[in-house]
Amino acid sequence: MILRAQTVVTLNGPPLRDGAVAVHGGRITAVGPFETVARQSSGEVVDLGEQILMPGLINAHCHLDYTTMRHSINPPASFTGWISRINALKRQMTDDDYLQAIALGFEELRRWGTTTVCNLEAFPELLPKLPPPPIRTWWFLELIDLRSRVTSEALMQGALSFFESRPDWLGGFGLNPHAPYTASAELFRLCNACGSRFGMPLTTHIAESAEEEAMFARREGDLFEFLSKLGRPMNDCGQRSSFANAVEGGLIGPGWLLAHANELEEPDFALIAATPGDWHLVHCPQSHAYFKHRPFAWKRLETLGVGISLGTDSLASNDSLSLFSEMQAAQQAAPWLTSETLLRMVTTHPAKALGKVGELGELRPGAHADLIALPFAGDAPRAYDAILNNRSPIEWMMLDGNIV
Ligand SMILES: [Zn+2]
């Protein structure tokens, strides 16, 4: 099949006018000017007309379990207060409620042009009850060992048996020790070992709130009190920041998808600079605004060469799963960010963080045929701005070579 559009945004070259993408067997086989692609490829031509044809978007941090919690929690005075509130809401939900939340979340992601999602899954035991996900999904198994130890056997069983039984599902499987305040150093090490042995991506929440920072750096604050009362050993607190504690303790490092990093201190930036490798952070602009965290360190992190991706977080701290809204919120907070830079944060950057360079997030031969189109009648160089300013649901999508 040959897809033709007035503008094609590849993300590995300038936008093309009257471009085309040839697709065969779920993969892209050619990209270029329509005349060239049509000469080299065979198959039915689908002419999308006055549209931008581009890669589907990648959401690098989402919790589909909580899709039904939109507007359920007012912006809290404290992060710990929010944790208590979401835990209370979770206790009221049944398995069927969660299954419905996941289905609704997928629907909303699709409506807004997301073809790949990193979903942090708190209830992996529900997965056998789910239909195949409608978009490419990395299921990150959320792990917390505050109350009971997670053994290596349980981890293996959960992570491997699940995915071996679903080879037809699009996407992959990863691990999510929840955060350094809810997952032990031992659990992080186990995840690191699993990740490198089985090539599984790893993600966690890090330096998300001022309270996490107060807990690790100064042994004080609401989160410190809350977790002390739950019986968490607090002997890792009082020496350094949450980020430094996790990096210097060998818990996290380059290669991880590190969500949030809202509360980085000077020594943390120095630590990033001093640690070679590909650092990947996931910023969630609307969730960041909801919690009123300190301004995100865009310029410092860009200077350090950190790959920044965007995520929506969950609807317990956001009112939309649209990555277009996230790009717009990021540009509002940091107006110097160009539309192209922001677009890379929902395409090529998360693709790299998932180890899928050239396969996801750009249009090139060999990449998965995950594409979206949106109306546009302007000149090709204006395409990035048009994408960034999109406020309408996406009406045309191709996933793995199939128009859906
Ligand atoms: Zn999260």
Q: What is the pLDDT of residues 296-325, one digit of tens each?
A: 999 999 999 999 999 999 998 999 999 999
pLDDT at 185 over 70: yes
Q: Could you give phi then psi for residue 100, rounded to 5 degrees?
A: -65, -40
Distance CA 132, CA 278 (A): 32
**Alpha carbon of 40 to ligand 1 centroid (Å):** 45
- Residue 259 CA, ligand 1 centroid: distance in Å: 7
The answer as to CATH 3.40.50.300 being correct for domain 2-55+361-403 is: no
Cβ–Cβ < 8 Å for 293, 267: no
Å from CA of 348 to ligand 1 middle: 21
The percent of residues in the chain predicted with pLDDT above 70, rounded, is: 97
- Cα 151 to ligand 1 centre (Å): 23
What is the DSSP code (8-state) at residue 165? T
pLDDT of residue 75: 86
Query: What is d(CA 319, CA 311) in angstroms, rounded to the nearest whole number?
Result: 13
Residue 205 Cα to ligand 1 midpoint, Å, equals: 6
What is the distance in A from the centroid of ligand 1 to the CA of 318?
A: 11
**Which DSSP category does 125 fall into?**
G
Following DSSP, what letter does each residue of 266-317 receive, concatenated? HHHHHHHHHS-S--EEEE-HHHHHHHTPSPP-HHHHHHTT-EEEE----TTS
Q: How far is the CA of 166 from the centre of ligand 1 (A)?
A: 25
pLDDT at residue 91, rounded to an integer = 92
User: 49 CA distance to ligand 1 centroid (A)?
Assistant: 39
- Using the mean position of ligand 1's atoms as its centre, give its distance from the Cα of residue 51 in Å: 34
Taking the centre of ligand 1 as the mean of its atom positions, its distance from the CA of residue 357, in whole angstroms, is 24
Residue 249's pLDDT band (cuts 50, 70, 90): very high
Separation of 63 CA from ligand 1 center, angstroms? 6
Q: Are 248 and 240 in contact (CB under 8 A)?
A: yes
For the segment 73-102, the average pLDDT, to the nearest whole number, is 91
Residue 56 carries which DSSP code?
Answer: P
The Å distance, Cα 283 to ligand 1 centre, comes to 10
Could you tell me the distance, in angstroms and rounded to a whole number, from the CA of residue 104 to the centre of ligand 1? 18
Report how far ligand 1's centroid is from the alpha carbon of 384 (Å): 28
Measure the N-to-C terminal CA separation of the chain; round to a whole number of Å.
Answer: 15
Q: Rounded distance, CA 272 to CA 250, Å?
A: 13
> What are 324-357's pLDDT values in tens digits?
999 999 999 999 999 999 999 999 999 999 999 9
pLDDT tens digits along 364-375: 999 999 999 999
Angle at 361 between CA 359 and CA 366, to 5 degrees: 25
- Distance (Å) from CA 402 to ligand 1 centroid: 31
Least confident of 24-28, 62-66, 78-82: 78-82
- Ligand 1 centre to CA of 165 (Å) is 27
The pLDDT value given to residue 159: 66
Going from the Cα of 347 to the center of ligand 1, the distance in angstroms, rounded, reads 19
Residue 399 CA to ligand 1 centre (angstroms): 26
* Closest to 141 measured CA to CA, from 156, 265, 260: 156
pLDDT of residue 161: 64
Structure tokens at 391: 């406020």
42 alpha carbon – ligand 1 mean position (Å): 44
How high is the pLDDT of residue 3? 98
Quote the ligand 1 centre to 182 CA distance (angstroms).
13
31-57 pLDDT, tens digit per residue, is: 999 999 999 999 999 999 999 999 999
Report how far ligand 1's centroid is from the alpha carbon of 24 (Å).
Answer: 36
- What distance in angstroms lies between residue 207's CA and the mean position of ligand 1's atoms? 12
How many angstroms is it from 219 CA to the middle of ligand 1?
23
The three state secondary structure string of 14-38 is CCEEEEEEEEECCEEEEEEEHHHHH
Give the Å distance between the CA of 253 and the centre of ligand 1.
18
CA of 69 to the centre of ligand 1 (A): 14
- For 136-163, what is each residue's pLDDT tens digit? 999 999 999 987 777 777 776 766 666 6
Between CA 370 and CA 377, with CA 373 as vertex, the angle to 5 degrees is 155
- Whether 2-55+361-403 shares its CATH topology with 57-353 is answered no
Q: Where are the domains of the chain?
A: 2-55+361-403, 57-353
Distance 4 CA to ligand 1 centre (A): 38
Q: CA–CA distance from 158 to each of 125, 139, 193 (Å)?
A: 8, 11, 15
The pLDDT of 18-27, averaged and rounded, is 97
Distance 258 CA to ligand 1 centre (A): 10
Q: Tell me which CATH code domain 57-353 carries.
A: 3.20.20.140
In the chain, the amino acid numbered 273 is A
Helix (H, G, I), strand (E, B) or coil at 189: helix
